């Protein structure tokens, strides 16, 4: 078994001050050595963190581990990861960390729940399981989606191709604020479109309810989680989606929603 390239490092509880926040227009960091993707794993439970690091290292990722949420945030600038894998679990502090990282870092974020972690832990052969392969694909997909969003921010709008996202039988035209389903325009409200556009940035990756509320109503969260649920239900209805067996918008219990990728 190969050795694990993981380090717990010093874990400080110091928060990042506003002047440390990343600018998306800043130059991207140099790629990892030999083209390997730098992954920061944030997981307080050491057995899960060690297992996850082994699977990622076997998948040819460079891995750092932090067991403290505050320590992970304070070390983001020095570690400069390409992707942060957050084991969010059912706890609010884990969900808040996902939003916090997106606010202060250029890194893409992949949120895992305990179901995924348990399936990885059950496989004793690092990197050789459907779950490990899926995790690798999720990380690379999140990085590709992030790169497209970063190009739009840096280039002042990006290309027409980037602004038209095709997912399953949906075409989401960000420039025209229109959604097509099998060629037919679906009439959505402004908030419904905003939800779908946000989820389409990283299909398969969940967005927290808190993050979606901030997109719709700002940091005041004036609409509340129940109002968000109403808008998601209306979006599903217009797309002909079934919340029990979703084709488009899936509920991630204890976390938020994701677009089925």
Distance CA 162, CA 231 (A): 26
Least confident piece of the model among 83-92, 152-161, 245-254: 152-161
Q: What pLDDT does residue 251 have?
A: 93
Query: Which pLDDT belongs to residue 110?
Result: 86
The residue-averaged pLDDT of 246-261 equals 89
- Lowest-pLDDT choice from 131-135, 144-148, 204-208: 144-148
- Tens digits of residue pLDDT in 64-79: 999 998 889 889 888 8
Residue 96 pLDDT exceeds 50: yes
> pLDDT at residue 37 above 90?
no
Which residue ranges make up each domain of the chain?
A: 18-155, 164-259
Question: Domain 164-259 belongs to what topology?
Answer: Arc Repressor Mutant, subunit A (1.10.10)
Provide the pLDDT for residue 199. Answer: 92
Task: Supply the pLDDT for residue 89.
Answer: 64
pLDDT given for residue 183 in this prediction: 84
Confidence of residue 161 (pLDDT cuts 50, 70, 90): very low
Confidence of residue 257 (pLDDT cuts 50, 70, 90): very high
**Lowest mean pLDDT across 40-44, 205-209, 222-226:** 222-226
pTM: 0.53
How confident is residue 249, by pLDDT bands cut at 50, 70 and 90? very high
Q: Is the pLDDT of residue 219 over 90?
A: no
**Beta-sheet pairing, 178-181 with 170-173:** antiparallel
Q: Which residues contact 82 (CB under 8 A, 6 or more apart)?
A: 29, 31, 32, 37, 38, 39, 107, 108, 143
pLDDT at residue 151 above 80?
no
d(C-alpha 202, C-alpha 261), whole Å: 8
At the fourth CATH level, the homologous superfamily of domain 18-155 is Response regulator (3.40.50.2300)
The set of residues, in sequence order, having a beta carbon less than 8 Å from that of 101 and lying 6+ positions away, is 72, 73, 76, 84, 86, 107, 109
């Amino acid at each position: 078994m190969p050795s694990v390239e993981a380090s717990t490092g010093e874990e400080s509880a110091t928060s990042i001050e506003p002047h440390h926040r990343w600018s998306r227009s800043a130059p991207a960091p140099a790629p990892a050595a030999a083209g390997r993707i730098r992954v920061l794993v944030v997981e307080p439970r050491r057995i899960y963190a060690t297992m996850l690091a082994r699977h990622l290292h076997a998948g040819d990722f460079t891995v750092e581990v932090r067991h403290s949420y505050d320590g992970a945030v304070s070390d983001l600038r020095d570690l400069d990861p390409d992707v942060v894998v957050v084991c969010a679990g059912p706890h609010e502090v884990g969900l808040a960390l996902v939003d916090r990282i997106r606010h202060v870092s250029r890194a893409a974020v992949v949120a895992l729940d305990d179901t995924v972690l348990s399936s990885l832990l059950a496989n004793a052969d690092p990197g050789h399981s459907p779950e490990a392969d899926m995790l690798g694909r999720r990380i690379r997909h999140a990085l590709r989606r992030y790169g497209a969003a970063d190009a739009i921010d840096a280039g002042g709008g990006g290309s027409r191709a980037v602004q038209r996202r095709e997912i399953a039988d949906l075409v989401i035209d960000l420039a025209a604020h229109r959604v097509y389903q099998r060629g037919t325009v679906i009439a959505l409200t402004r908030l419904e479109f905003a939800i779908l556009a946000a989820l389409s940035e990283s299909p398969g990756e969940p967005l927290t309810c808190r993050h979606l509320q901030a997109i719709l109503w700002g940091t005041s969260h004036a609409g509340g989680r129940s109002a968000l649920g109403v808008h998601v239900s209306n979006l599903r209805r217009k797309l002909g989606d079934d919340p029990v067996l979703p084709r488009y918008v899936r509920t991630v219990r204890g976390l938020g929603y994701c677009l089925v990728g």
